[in-house]
Amino acid sequence: MSSCLPARIVRHAAHHPDAPALFWHGNTTGYGELTAMAGRAATWIAAHHGGAAAPGPGSGERPRPLALVAKKSPEAVAVVLACLLLRRPLLIASADLGAEALSALLVSAGATRLPAPAELTASPGEGAPPVPSAPYPATGDPDDIALLLTTSGSTGIPKIAPVTFGALDRFTAWAAGHFGLDARTTVLNHAPLNFDLCLFDIWTTLGSGGCAALVDQDLAVNPAHLEGILRARPVHVVQGVPLLHALLARTAAGGDASHLAPVRHVLITGDAISGPAFAALPPLFPRARFHNVYGCTETNDSFVHEIDPQDPMPHGALPLGRPVAGTRAWIRTEDGGVLHGPGRGELVVRTPFQTPGYLGAAPAVSPFVPHPQDQDGGPCYRTGDLVRRHPDGTLTLEGRRDFVVKVRGVRVNTAEVEAALCAHDGIEEAAVLALPDDEAGKVLHAVVRRAPAATLDSLTLRHYLGQRLPRAALPRTVRWSGEPLPRTSTGKLDRTALTDVLGPGPSVPRAPAAVGAPAARLSADIRRISQGTGD
Amino acid sequence: MARTTQIKKYLIEQFSLEIQPDELADDYDLLAGGVIDSLGLLTLVSWLEDTYGLNVDVLDVAPDNFRSVRAIDAFCDAASAPGPAAGTTGATEAATTGARRP
């Protein structure tokens, strides 16, 4: 029997067509329906883009990638499944990406954009000839590219990280085993479809015969939507950034946490969670085990730590834990050596799930490096994360060696935002600062000096940035400076002085305006979220 | 003061836009420009509820209903109209066509 992910899903559908695969806005999509939708999409794709056989087998050419630019929906999931079945590489791009950024990304990937998922998966009308089943190729080379994921770069165009079928199979096998996913499991999927987190939430779940409960991207920060899902369908596993867990805690603010009781595993990922934010969780999830999951788009999960709710942060932060099965990790010292024993350095990992390398323009300095003592073991990935190894061997995160920050769990390179700002004719110089924020982890603030005679205003500038940068990379505030920006003696932006410039001005708290009227339910919810995670 | 002007003043103050209300066009795309993000959207709805006494079905808080000042104004019309239909569909329709619900 094949262990290839799409084949497993189709096999499960053949045996259990009525088993729930997806839960979306109160409706269940069975495995049979999901694979039927995927079959219609595959037929359309094969007819319009030559299917898997184009170019022909043995031609040595790889099929051109297709691109899905869509918000999450059962139809969109079916289109991804169709491409996996056809073994056509699929770029999944955010539907929020600005027009210029999107077209640059499609060019960089060499990808052809597919029509909307609803169109691809639509049932044929009455009287239409029966749809022939799509000719799925037999399982092929595990090094074939399955998906193209994106992550922030420093140049303005997202970097493209391919995921192979082999990596997908190894990851889904490990993750299903580690978190005990099977046909009775429902997993909450909070992340948008283009996020690597979906490799667990959606694809590991479907590969296990379980049900993925999909959060509508448009309502992803709305506690009522989350609560509605959890009350309608018992959820056993939740994975998400700290913001999701704060939102879930809010859904129990009325004192009734019964919808959280079925949860067996809570996976915290994407960013560091604060002590108070974590402390709110164990009482709400009485049966759950808590896991700190560390990974990035290039490598997928590489460390997992089961959190001790009695002593979650013995070193002041959640421990990273142990490398997951088959992962090799080392700490790189400043001179490129391997740190043995306690100390601080950059975390470098090699996982069985990692990308073979970026597609398209490579960064000037490759983050993929050989292990200094194991040159034959394949490239390792420099994460950019600085970690400390404590005397007892525990690893904790300490920051970054570059300008990458997390905004709501999304990796953003502030150098990329600065480059986009400085590329505007009306801008003389610009700095982007990431300041701590209770909700988002970090929020971006831009300080900008106009070029002489430029008449740029903040709205024009926002529109310009919105065309070029992912949503998470757009600064929350733009402050205009009449003076040259402060610089250090070596000519670099003086970020400490800039932070002082920002002061209390633009970094206004995002709590709603104080009003005397009794708060409606939503208002109350949002106020509590804005004020932090506790009651 | 017209409701659209009040909405603009709120947006400018809340999101530190450093412009005058008449510089914010009724159809400026607040989402594409990152003025309103997903959490900012809920904060805005909370303000609309309190300011205009609306009772918004929380599941109607979809970004497309709040894409521009004009769309927000239309949403307020729909949400304050009597009857169970006030909500997403009506507001989206109004936002798209610019038409007001009867």
Instruction: Judge whether residue A54 has pLDDT over 80.
Output: no
DSSP code, position A246: H
CB contact B19 to A (< 8 Å):
yes
Are A466 and B34 within 8 A, CB to CB? yes
Instruction: Judge whether residue A331 has pLDDT over 90.
Output: yes
Q: Chain-wide mean pLDDT for chain A? A: 88
Cross-strand pairs, A487 = A493
Domains in chain A, number: 1
pLDDT-derived band at A195 (thresholds 50, 70, 90) equals: very high
A115-129, A155-169, A404-418, range with the lowest pLDDT: A115-129
Nearest to B34 among A440, A462, A525 (CB): A462
CATH number at residue A459: 3.30.300.30
Q: Specify the pLDDT at position A512.
A: 36
Per residue in A239-286, pLDDT tens? 999 999 999 999 998 899 999 999 999 999 998 899 999 999 999 999
Query: ipTM score here?
Result: 0.76
Contact present, A475 and A417 (Cβ < 8 Å): yes
Is A482 inside any structural domain? yes
- The mean pLDDT value for A453-464 works out to 89
- Determine which helix (DSSP H) or strand (DSSP E) holds A420, and give its type and residue range: helix A414-422
- The mean pLDDT value for B72-87 works out to 75
Measure A409 CA to nearest chain B CA, in Å: 14
Q: For a pLDDT cut of 90, what percent of chain A falls above it?
A: 68
Q: Specify the pLDDT at position A440.
A: 81
Is A326 inside any structural domain? no
Q: Specify the pLDDT at position B59.
A: 80
Contact present, A302 and A294 (Cβ < 8 Å): yes
- Which of B52, B58, B92 to mutate against chain A (most A CBs within 10 Å)? B58
Residues of chain A contacting residue B39, judged by C-beta atoms under 8 Å apart: 221, 439-440, 510, 526, 529-530
Q: Specify the pLDDT at position B18.
A: 83
Is A416 inside any structural domain? yes
Contact present, A314 and A329 (Cβ < 8 Å): no
Task: Give CA–CA dist A348/A350, Å, rounded.
Answer: 7
CB contact B49 to A (< 8 Å):
yes
Q: Specify the pLDDT at position A63.
A: 83
Q: How many CA atoms lie within 13 A of A370 on its CB side?
A: 7
Measure A459 CA to nearest chain B CA, in Å: 7
> Closest residue of A to B56, CA-based?
A522
- The mean pLDDT value for A15-27 works out to 97
Is A461 inside any structural domain? yes
AA identity, residue A221: V
- The mean pLDDT value for A191-217 works out to 97
Is A447 inside any structural domain? yes
Six-digit token string for A305:
């730590």
- The mean pLDDT value for A61-79 works out to 93
Instruction: Judge whether residue A448 has pLDDT over 70.
Output: yes
Instruction: Judge whether residue A127 has pLDDT over 60.
Output: no
Nearest to A512 among B28, B29, B46 (CB): B46
More confident residue, A91 or B85: A91
In 3D space, the residue among B33, B81, B28, B36 whose CA is nearest the CA of residue B63 turns out to be: B36
Instruction: Judge whether residue A52 has pLDDT over 90.
Output: no
| Unique residue bearing structure tokens 């309608």 | A232
Q: Specify the pLDDT at position A374.
A: 81
Contact present, A318 and A312 (Cβ < 8 Å): yes
Longest dimension (CA), chain B: 39
Task: Give CA–CA dist A274/A290, Å, rounded.
Answer: 14
More confident residue, A11 or B84: A11
Task: Give CA–CA dist A13/A85, Å, rounded.
Answer: 13
Task: Give CA–CA dist A225/A524, Å, rounded.
Answer: 15
More confident residue, A507 or A140: A140
Please tell us whether the domain made up of B3-97 is placed in CATH 1.10.1200.10.
yes
Q: How many CA atoms lie within 13 A of B46 on its CB side?
A: 27
More confident residue, A155 or B83: A155
Are B53 and A517 within 8 A, CB to CB? yes
Are B50 and A512 within 8 A, CB to CB? yes
Instruction: Judge whether residue A501 has pLDDT over 80.
Output: no
- Which of A515, A526, A527, A531 to mutate against chain B (most B CBs within 10 Å)? A526
Task: Give CA–CA dist A265/A469, Å, rounded.
Answer: 34
Task: Give CA–CA dist A482/A28, Å, rounded.
Answer: 57
Q: Specify the pLDDT at position B15.
A: 86
Contact present, A330 and A371 (Cβ < 8 Å): yes
CB contact B59 to A (< 8 Å):
yes
In 3D space, the residue among A510, A478, A444, A462 whose CA is nearest the CA of residue B30 turns out to be: A462
- Which of A218, A437, A531 to mutate against chain B (most B CBs within 10 Å)? A218
More confident residue, A285 or A516: A285
Q: Specify the pLDDT at position A535.
A: 35
Please report, to the nearest 10 degrees, the dihedral formed by the alpha carbons of residues A91, A96, A100, A101 taken in order: -50
Task: Give CA–CA dist A13/A207, Å, rounded.
Answer: 11
Which structural domain, as residue segments, surrounds residue A419? 404-502
* DSSP character string of A354-397: --SS-BSSPPSS-SEE-BTTBGGG--EEEEEEEEEE-TTS-EEE
Tell how strand A322-323 and strand A300-306 pair up: antiparallel
**What residues does each domain of chain B span?**
3-97
Measure B43 CA to nearest chain A CA, in Å: 6
Cross-strand pairs, A268 = A240, A292
Distance (Å) of CA A195 to CA A87, A150, A300, B19: 20, 8, 11, 35
Per residue in A334-393, pLDDT tens? 998 999 999 999 999 999 999 999 998 777 789 999 988 888 888 999 999 999 999 999
Sign of CA dihedral A48, A52, A56, A62: positive
CB contact B76 to A (< 8 Å):
no
Q: Specify the pLDDT at position A53.
A: 46
Contact present, A208 and A236 (Cβ < 8 Å): no
DSSP code, position A532: -
- Which of A24, A71, A97, A219 to mutate against chain B (most B CBs within 10 Å)? A219
Are B19 and A522 within 8 A, CB to CB? no
Task: Give CA–CA dist B17/A535, Å, rounded.
Answer: 31
Helix axes A414-422, A458-468, angle to 10 degrees: 120
Q: How many CB pairs under 8 A join A and B?
A: 119
Residues of chain A contacting residue B25, judged by C-beta atoms under 8 Å apart: 459
- Quickly count helices (H) and strands (E) in chain A: 15, 24
Instruction: Judge whether residue A37 has pLDDT over 80.
Output: yes
Instruction: Judge whether residue A442 has pLDDT over 60.
Output: yes
- The mean pLDDT value for B19-29 works out to 93
Instruction: Judge whether residue A59 has pLDDT over 80.
Output: no
Contact present, A369 and A379 (Cβ < 8 Å): yes
Instruction: Judge whether residue A432 has pLDDT over 60.
Output: yes
Sheet holding A322-323, edge to edge: A27-30, A20-24, A211-214, A186-189, A237-240, A265-269, A289-296, A300-306, A322-323
AA identity, residue A251: T
Per residue in A130-173, pLDDT tens? 555 656 887 689 999 999 999 877 666 789 999 999 999 999 99
- Quickly count helices (H) and strands (E) in chain B: 4, 0
Contacts of A346 (CB under 8 A, 6+ apart): A331, A332, A382, A383, A384, A385, A386, A387, A401
Residues of chain B contacting residue A455, judged by C-beta atoms under 8 Å apart: none
pLDDT-derived band at A482 (thresholds 50, 70, 90) equals: confident
Nearest to B18 among A224, A480, A523 (CB): A480
Are A466 and B32 within 8 A, CB to CB? yes
Are A523 and B50 within 8 A, CB to CB? yes
CB contact B28 to A (< 8 Å):
yes
| Unique residue bearing structure tokens 């879930």 | A248
